Amino acid sequence: MVVFMSYSISDLARVLRVFSSNNVKFTIIGDTCIQIVLGKESFINDIDLFIIEPSIFDNERFYMNLAISNGWEYSYTEIGTPRLIANINGKEIVIELYENYLDIDIPESIINKSRVVNINDLKIRILYPEQYLVLKARQGVDLDKLKQYVRELKQIDYKLLKETIDKYPEDERKVIIERLEDIGLY
């Protein structure tokens, strides 16, 4: 079991800078993107990165070497993708790497439409809150947490929410919409 420690925005930037400086193209897809939009300065959960390149499956040795060269641990997520554990300022920060695999299915058009933010002079891509909400509703997990995020967000772009839902097959849209309705959206 992984225990999550609190870490700062500068710790987050330090971790992400390692990936950027090694030419890894990624988008933050986890709830870290919501916390960034909400202006949080402290984070508790892991960092979920959707890797664009180099592929985590075709280049696993690359990610192992990245971990080793930075004194990080290397293991695997529940679905078999790489999990790196960075030790930054005495804090263990868990970074889980994903691509479209098993129940992770993020259309390229969603990733391409993600936004760029600046964190400690580092430009990174994160999902818009609406994109994150749709992905989590599709998975059907953490719905209580989503409800809380909806309350905390100042506004929701319903057009983007619908555009994101429409990226999925018709048979999945109904379930996504029902789950979003359950958390007070749509």
Q: What is the pLDDT of residues 21-47, one digit of tens each?
A: 999 999 999 999 999 999 999 998 899
CA distance 46 to 25: 18
pLDDT of residue 147: 93
Q: Which residues contact 87 (CB under 8 A, 6 or more apart)?
A: 71, 72, 93
pLDDT tens digits, one per residue of 6-24: 899 999 999 999 999 999 9
Q: Judge whether residue 1 has pLDDT over 90.
A: no
Whole-Å CA distances, 98 to 30, 42, 115: 10, 23, 18
Average pLDDT over residues 38-57: 95
Order of all β-strands in the sheet with 25-28 = 73-76, 82-88, 91-98, 47-53, 25-28, 122-126, 115-119
Average pLDDT over residues 82-100: 94
For the chain, which domains are there? Answer: 1-127 (3.30.460), 128-186 (no CATH)
Average pLDDT over residues 146-158: 93
Q: Judge whether residue 103 has pLDDT over 70.
A: no
| Mean pLDDT, rounded, of the chain | 94
DSSP state of 43: E
Asked if 153 and 141 count as a contact pair (C-beta separation under 8 A), the reply is no
